[in-house]
Amino acid sequence: MRQTLKDAFEIAWKDLADFFRDRMRLISFIIMPIFMMVMTGYIFPSQNSLNGVSIAVVNGDGGGAAASRVAAGLEQIEIGGTKSFNLLSASSADEAKDLIRQGRISGAIVIPAGFTQGIMSGKQAQVTIITDQSNPQVSAMLGTMLEKVVDAFSTKVAEEKLRAVTAMAPVPLLGDPDAAVRPFVVRQEGIVAGEPNYFQFMAPGIMAMVVVMAVMMGLAGAIAREREIGTLDGILVAPINRLSIILGKTFSQSVRGFTQGALVLVLAVLLFHVRVYGSLLLVALLLVLGIFSFVGLGILISAFASEQETAMTILMTLNFPMMFLSGAFFPVQQMPEIMRWLSRLIPLSYTIQGLRKVMILGAGLGAITTEIAVLAGFGLVTLAIAVPAFSKAITR
């Protein structure tokens, strides 16, 4: 066994020397996680990511005071110092629709004629929101925002009316008019302090994905590559245990994957202000187990793929659905039943779940025992299948 480990170390040393002396590969090795972070960090919608979205206001009410107040309300909405809306005016609902079709605006709000007068005379007034269905994401957000504005405005109108009524009443019948209109308000409270940040949610997923994929690709690709260029024969013709080849390759690829994972974490903290609330040691443990859970699969692929390209194609095919099913980008809870069920079959899901618990919620060892057990179990079972299969397949 000691000899096996020594041989494994020699193979790992060779792999790492080979890797770190290849400047191009080293550069892409560093750039890849940076790209990954920056892309996901900036592209994915943060909670209120509307900024500078053009919308049209169709003010059919002419000089009506209420209508102007709605429009002014819209203009004031801003997030982080930038205005969410860029208001244009349109003369009719049809013109607004045309503008949407041309792609010049993303939505419109139509205030009908007699809006102000309707409110004043105690009738229920109505505004129409026109959305751009070709862009469901923006249109959904816009819908919510516009509804909120209109809602806030109508609440205000209601309060004013109520106040007027109570002021006239001889006895204060209703207490606080605010409470009468809005009997309760919701206050949010998280487990850890601070604002929920979309990137905080993303970081563990990306980290797990980068590490696991680097190791899987590296493992399957490296063995297939050595087979292709012929150097594998040199290792195979040496009187060494087949296990030491697996161990050596796994070790060198893990070092690479781990370095990349650490890089992602550092970037997340420095660039996107991600905070790790739990212990870094647990984060490392989960990553190690995450790698472990996939080693068997990587070895199986490498044993049967005779060319590097075949190995990569198989991996790509596996990686793509895994990326989504594991919940790295979208919460698993939002997926349909069958997808959630599939998600449970992927070890990456558990790595990410565990990492989120530790990194976002500050969970301790006790809270992630399930994840640890599943990952270890998965790794052991796949390895038990992969190691004998590899030894058999490698000398066909």
Partner 1 sequence: MSEQVMIEVENLTRKFGGFVAVDHVSFAVPKGRVFGFLGPNGAGKSTTIRMLTTLLRPTAGTARISGYDLVKEPDKVRRKIGLVSEKLIVYDRLTARENLRLFGRLNHLPDDIIRERTEHWLRALKMEPWADHLAGTFSTGMKQRVNIARALLNMPEVLFLDEPTLGLDPQTTRSIREFIQDLRSQGVTIVLTTHQMYEAEALCDTIGIIDRGRMVAVGTSSELKKMLNGDGTAVIDLEIPNLSDDMVTAIAEVPSVKHIGHETATRLRVQTVAGTAGGASGAGGADPGAPGDTIGQVLARLLSSGARLASVNMAEPTLEDVFVQLTGHEMRDEVQDKVPSGRGHSRQRVAQRVAR
Selected binder of partner 1 within 233, 280, 370, 384 (CB under 8 A):
233
24 binds partner 1 (CB under 8 A): no
Give the interface segment with partner 1, choosing from 143-151, 196-204, 209-217, 235-243 (CB under 8 A): 235-243
Give the DSSP H/E element, type plus range, for residue 278. none
| Token code pair at residue 269 | 């903290």
For partner 1, which is the closer residue by CB, 24 or 169? 24
Give the whole-angstrom CA distance, residue 300 versus residue 304: 7
Contact 262, 345 (CB under 8 A): no
Binding-site size for partner 1 (CB under 8 A) equals 24
- The least distance separating partner 1 from the CB of residue 298, rounded to whole angstroms, comes to 21
Alpha helices in the chain (DSSP H): 2-20, 23-43, 65-76, 93-101, 115-120, 136-168, 177-181, 198-229, 231-236, 242-272, 280-304, 308-325, 337-343, 347-361, 369-394
Selected binder of partner 1 within 174, 236, 335, 376 (CB under 8 A):
236
For partner 1, which is the closer residue by CB, 23 or 187? 23
Selected binder of partner 1 within 74, 130, 181, 235 (CB under 8 A):
235
Selected binder of partner 1 within 4, 18, 112, 342 (CB under 8 A):
18
393 binds partner 1 (CB under 8 A): no
Secondary structure class of 72 (helix, strand, coil): helix
| Token code pair at residue 144 | 């919510």
Selected binder of partner 1 within 52, 63, 234, 336 (CB under 8 A):
234
5 binds partner 1 (CB under 8 A): no
| Residue written as token pair 């169709």 | 58
For partner 1, which is the closer residue by CB, 154 or 241? 241
222 binds partner 1 (CB under 8 A): no
Answer left, alpha or beta for residue 146, where phi above 0 means left and psi between -120 and 50 means alpha. alpha
Closest CA to 389 of 284, 290, 246: 246
For partner 1, which is the closer residue by CB, 69 or 225? 225
26 binds partner 1 (CB under 8 A): no
For partner 1, which is the closer residue by CB, 193 or 237? 237
Give the DSSP H/E element, type plus range, for residue 110. strand 107-111
Closest CA to 70 of 95, 93, 89, 49: 89
- The least distance separating partner 1 from the CB of residue 240, rounded to whole angstroms, comes to 6
Strand partners, 56: 88, 108
247 binds partner 1 (CB under 8 A): no
For partner 1, which is the closer residue by CB, 170 or 239? 239
Q: Count other C-beta atoms under 10 Å from residue 137's C-beta.
A: 9
- The least distance separating partner 1 from the CB of residue 231, rounded to whole angstroms, comes to 5
Closest CA to 220 of 249, 197, 261, 259: 249
Secondary structure class of 24 (helix, strand, coil): helix
For partner 1, which is the closer residue by CB, 13 or 42? 13
Q: Which residues bind partner 1 (CB under 8 A)?
A: 3, 6-7, 10-11, 13-14, 17-18, 21-22, 229-231, 233-240, 395-396
